[in-house]
Homo-oligomer: A and B are copies of this chain.
Amino acid sequence: MLVECVPNFSEGRRPEVLEAIRQAAELPGVAILGLSWDPDHHRAVMTLAGEGEAVLESVWRATVEAVARIDLNHHRGTHPRIGAVDVIPFIPLGDTPMSYCIGLARSLGERIGRDLGIPVLLYEEAASRASRRNLAAVRRGQFEGLGERLSVEGGAPDYGPSAPHPTAGAVAVGARPALIAYNVYLNTADPAVADRVAQAVRGSSGGLRGVKALPMNTTSQGMVQVSMNLTDWQRTSIPAALEMARREAQRYGALVTGTEVVGFVPLGAILDAARYYLQAHDLSAAQVLELALMNEAVTTGVPYGGPPASEREED
């Protein structure tokens, strides 16, 4: 059961603290795919992946370390936050079901509440009530407003005490699909075009449900960018977002000069794109050689009749 986990820490200025957190997270079977930080946001993002139980243990250890070293009373950054460890989303990889990630979120949340005495709020797919699905809503009032929010009727956390931890605040633990950061560049310097395209594709203004979009000026290149987040790529795919953006841009005479996937992308999303544009309706992940090789099931032998005639050594 492969999962990704992207814990966010409220620390973006002390590299030695981040290094300690990274070391705490090191565990056999867990790949630390990245750790980035930003001093303005005063925030760091770690990307972990591996078997669910191992990833849970790894992020638990990182949480303990972060709680010991970060005091939110002295934390001022531009990014909203409720805790020293602010959010911990679990994300299914491959065939892992969302329900498994919800289970991991609950299990970790319970442990944090019980053993660290920190209130835990479950969010998105792991949320215990509709009002906590949206992370922005969970974080409203931030660290400074936590005491009041936790003490109101219905404000009790899912795990842990009903009062904020004095230095670590609270933690939002959740489960969600992988997020794809996808940018489309247009051959116009007119910011109004980017603005209109972003508005047309983003779900909140009537566009595609799984798309968040912002217009961006890309300074020097005489191009504008539509910066998108695809929050549910299995239902709203990269091609769906690109083709809608392309079509809208054409209304204003603008063409797509290029696109970029920022950071990691699930293989399934790349296969979706290949299936869509190649019209290869039946292309499956099982046909990808490197993946077949990863899949240990195949080493036990495959029944006769497996590979294609074309792999015969024809002339």
A residues adjacent to B (C-beta < 8 A)? 2, 4, 6, 8, 15, 18, 22, 26, 30-38, 41, 43, 45, 47, 49-50, 79-80, 86-87, 89, 93-94, 134-136, 139, 172, 178-179, 181, 229, 238-239, 242, 256-267, 270-271, 273-274, 276-283, 287-294, 296, 298-299, 301-302, 304-315
Alpha-carbon distance A291/B311, docked complex (angstroms): 25
Alpha-carbon distance A278/B260, docked complex (angstroms): 9
Alpha-carbon distance A281/B262, docked complex (angstroms): 12
Alpha-carbon distance A133/B191, docked complex (angstroms): 56
Give every chain B residue within 8 A of A238 (Cβ-Cβ). Answer: 278
Nearest 9 CB-CB pairings of A with B: A34-B306, A181-B310, A136-B315, A277-B277, A263-B308, A34-B307, A87-B313, A262-B308, A273-B274
Give every chain B residue within 8 A of A278 (Cβ-Cβ). Answer: 238-239, 242, 259, 261, 273, 277
A45 and B265 contacting across the interface, CB-CB below 8 Å: no
Give every chain B residue within 8 A of A282 (Cβ-Cβ). Answer: 260
Once A87-B313, A282-B260 are accepted as A-B contacts, the answer to whether A2 and B305 lie under 8 Å apart by CB is no
- Closest Cβ of chain B to A293, distance in Å, is 5
A30 and B299 contacting across the interface, CB-CB below 8 Å: yes
Give every chain B residue within 8 A of A134 (Cβ-Cβ). Answer: 315
Give every chain B residue within 8 A of A178 (Cβ-Cβ). Answer: 289
Alpha-carbon distance A258/B38, docked complex (angstroms): 46
A33 and B292 contacting across the interface, CB-CB below 8 Å: yes
A266 and B289 contacting across the interface, CB-CB below 8 Å: yes
Q: Which residue of B lies closest to A302 (CB)?
A: B34
